Amino acid sequence: MPTTAWRFAGTEGADQAVLKLKQLDSQKLIDVHDVAVLRWPEYAPEPSTREHVTEEGGMVSTLMRRMQRPVIDSSMIQAAKSDLLPGTSAVVVLTEGAAVDAVVHAFEGQPMELIRSDLSVPEQDQLRQAISEAQQRGSH
């Protein structure tokens, strides 16, 4: 299962991405296992992190889901956190079975940058190219 980290201009970009990912997951276009949101408000001394943002329910049911489903490795979250700048946000996403074209289309026009990934270099290059083309289409 690939883990990717995406940086957004502004602290709201990550929240918008989570909403889109939840929608894509409900449409069976991607299977989102875990999401962490990182934010660095302009005047904050450091970024903040909120893990497992897609989980709902009480503490016991959340703990049971975590035991049954994989979660993002904390080293990936820390690495992505080090890539943030004041006034930016990021999502770190653990997914599988993505319909890449549909996911890329959903993010068309939303400026974002792949900052970390455990994908192979050719897979990262293909993903960056697809995102770049979608951003260009969205800006026209």
DSSP the chain: --EEEEEEESSSHHHHHHHHHHHHHHTTS-EEEEEEEEEE-TT-SS-EEE--TT--S-HHHHHHHHHHS----HHHHHHHHHT--TTEEEEEEEEES--HHHHHHHTTT---EEEEE-S-HHHHHHHHHHHHHHHHHHH-
Query: Model pTM?
Result: 0.85
Cα 109 to Cα 31: distance, rounded to the nearest angstrom: 22
- What pLDDT, on the 0 to 100 scale, is given for residue 69? 65
- What are the pLDDT tens digits along the chain (140 aa)? 789 999 999 999 999 999 999 999 999 999 998 899 999 999 999 999 998 777 654 444 455 555 556 788 899 999 999 999 999 999 999 998 888 888 888 888 888 899 999 999 999 898 888 888 877 776 65
Number of domains in the chain: 1
Domain encompassing residue 23: 3-139
d(Cα 1, Cα 119) in Å, to the nearest integer?
9
